Structure 1
Amino acid sequence: MSAAAAPTWDPAQYLRHAGHRARPFADLLARVPDLPAQPSGGRPRIADLGCGPGNVTALLAQRWPTAHITGYDNSVDMLDQAHVEHEGPTAGGGRLDFAHADVRTWTPEEPYDLIVSNATLQWVPGHADRFADWLRAVRPGGTFAFQVPGNFDAPSHRLMRDLAPRYGLGDTLRHEDAVLTPRDYLARLTDLGCAADVWETTYVHLLTGEDPVLDWVKGTGLRPVLTALADAPDQREAFLSDYRAALREAYPATAHGTPFPFRRIFAVAHKEA
């Protein structure tokens, strides 16, 4: 990823749609099987790659309250929020903590019962090439699971890319190849010897407020643009004005809110015990 494409993150903006963003992670966890049996006195070990502000990492502690769970992220701002809001002992005697790491280069230094990632791998070019490294660190009977957005051809992203060259940002945004197809993920994971469950879902979020789709993407997909134009406020506002107008046409509001279709791809890869 080029320096221009490495976004800065705003935890408060990201969490403005926390309920909608957390639902796919809950749906992913519902398909993750039980973790391997632990030796006497042992605790399950879980890694969350790209934990952000820690709000969905905390869902792991609800499912596995005895586990030692570590959330990894490369955003200091996100980690600061996670440390304050979620770090510490869990109700079942486990522990939830957070550490700085870049998912592009992260290599497990210990075995894990579960490695999970929520809406992060789309930021990692060639992420499927890392699956073998991560799966080697998953214990027999353990699981590697992730979900990624599959909506890069949706108006929200396409309009963003159409505008970017006008502002000298042609190489800033990700394209459709940021993620693989469900069939390709299935092939990658089964070739690595896993029993893989791969599927896709299109959520239709009903968003409220003024320009809610713009508000949504300000927390995620638009971050590279906002970062690149951070020192050019006039250009930044001009981009946002053009983009806002295009989004209003693409996602018209109704009497009940603004429907926002959002496709996601899920994968759960289970290692034989």
Structure 2
Amino acid sequence: MSAAAPTWDPAQYLRHAGHRARPFVDLLAQVPDLPGDHPRIADLGCGPGNVTALLAERWPGAHITGYDNSAEMLDRAHVEHEGPTPGGGRLDFAHADVRTWTPDEPYDLIVSNATLQWVPDHVERFGAWVAGLRPGGTFAFQVPGNFDAPSHRLMRDLAHRHGLTDTLRHDDAVLAPRDYLARLVDLGCTADVWETTYVHLLTGEDPVLDWVKGTGLRPVLTALADEPETRDAFLGEYREALREAYPAGPHGTPFPFRRIFAVAGKGVR
């Protein structure tokens, strides 16, 4: 079965909003101040807009546009986050496909949080995005680096057994940190690239399954939307495997999660 664009469930995604937002906060902490009082910012793959709103807290006078290709996510973002900001800026959202999006005006910051892993050959887009920055602008992104973790290996193994071989990306979904560094420096950027492994303490019943239902498992859930018996069988097997791979402790279930970060500056500030 070939991969189809996954459908997204904003409510499921936001069930772990605090843990998911932490890497974006850590990414923004390394983004330098932007020139001017009213910078132009693009957030590629904004989802339901909850982390896009953090950009308005850092740069209250900015015009910020969150781009996403999910109508469900954009509907949530429009309702909950769109509008003027207290600092005289504006937060809005628009439909766009990150695979083809190209800046149509100069930006001071182009940022992407946990999105580029969904975009095959995303490094080939870096040139156009860096070209769309003003001199002194910044391109910053964060992607998961846990495709060899039990959560993803088990998911891929089960997908293969259920005839969903082409549904999931494999461990080539993202590059190694050193390869991102090389690509960005080749574009004439100064670049800071690093990785961090978070150990999230999740609570509730089958919390790792609940987590991946909002993100990595979406292609499987989409592919099996019209096959409820197969979907339930898959989830049952996956649930048991995750319980063994991520046993609950006395305070919750530890869930290690590696992420890769990059902050690239265009020219000299």
- TM interval, short-chain normalised: over 0.9
2:213 matched to 1:218?
A: yes
2:179 matches 1:202: no
Residue 81 (1) aligns with residue 80 (2): no
From 178, 183, 186, the equivalent of 1:188 is 183
Partner residue in 2 for 1:122: 117
SS in 1 for 2:172: helix
Question: CA offset at residue 3 of structure 1?
Answer: 6.5
Mapped contact 1:199–1:266 kept (Cα < 8 A): yes
Aligned equivalent of 1:146: 141
- Structure 1 counterpart of 2:170: 175
Q: CA deviation at 1:272?
A: 1.4
**Residues 198, 258 of structure 2: 8 Å contact kept:** yes
Matched, 1:17 2:16: yes
- Give the secondary-structure state (helix, strand or coil) at the position aligned to 2:12: helix
In 1, Cα distance between equivalents of 2:112 and 2:159: 28
Per the TM alignment, residue 37 of structure 1 is displaced from its structure 2 partner at its CA by 3.1
Q: Is 1:162 aligned with 2:157? A: yes
Q: Which amino acid letter does the alignment assign opposite residue 205 of structure 2?
A: E
Alpha carbons 1:36, 1:140 under 8 Å: kept: no
State the alpha-carbon separation in 2 of the partners of residues 117 and 30 from structure 1. 14
Q: 2:48 aligns with which of 53, 56, 61?
A: 53
CA contact 2:2–2:166 (8 Å) conserved in 1: no
* Alignment of 1:29 onto 2:24: no
Residue 179 of structure 1 aligns with an amino acid whose one-letter code is V
Give the counterpart letter for 2:93 in structure 1.
F
Alignment partners' CA distance in 2, 1:140 and 1:125: 28
Question: Identity percentage over the alignment?
Answer: 84
CA distance in 2, matches of 1:245, 1:184: 36
Gaps of 5+ in 2: none
After TM superposition, give the deviation of residue 202 of structure 1 in Å.
0.1
Indicate if the aligned counterparts of 1:5 and 1:173 stay in contact, CA closer than 8 A.
no
1:111 aligns with 2:110: no
C-alpha deviation, 1:166, in angstroms: 1.7
CA deviation digits over 1:154-197, x for unaligned, max 9? 00000000001221100100111000000000000001000000
Cα separation, 2, equivalents of 1:142 and 1:68:
15
Aligned residue identity for 2:165: G
Task: Tell me the distance in 2 between the aligned counterparts of 1:257 and 1:97.
Answer: 37
Pairing 1:233–2:218 present: no
Aligned length: 268
Q: Which runs of 4+ in 1 moved over 6 A?
A: none
In structure 2, give the amino acid aligned to 1:125.
P
Q: CA deviation at 1:59?
A: 0.2
Aligned to 1:71: 66
1:183 counterpart letter in structure 2: R
Unmatched tracts of structure 1, length 5 or more? none
CA deviations on 1:185-219 (whole Å, 9 max, x unpaired) are 00000010000000000000000000000000000
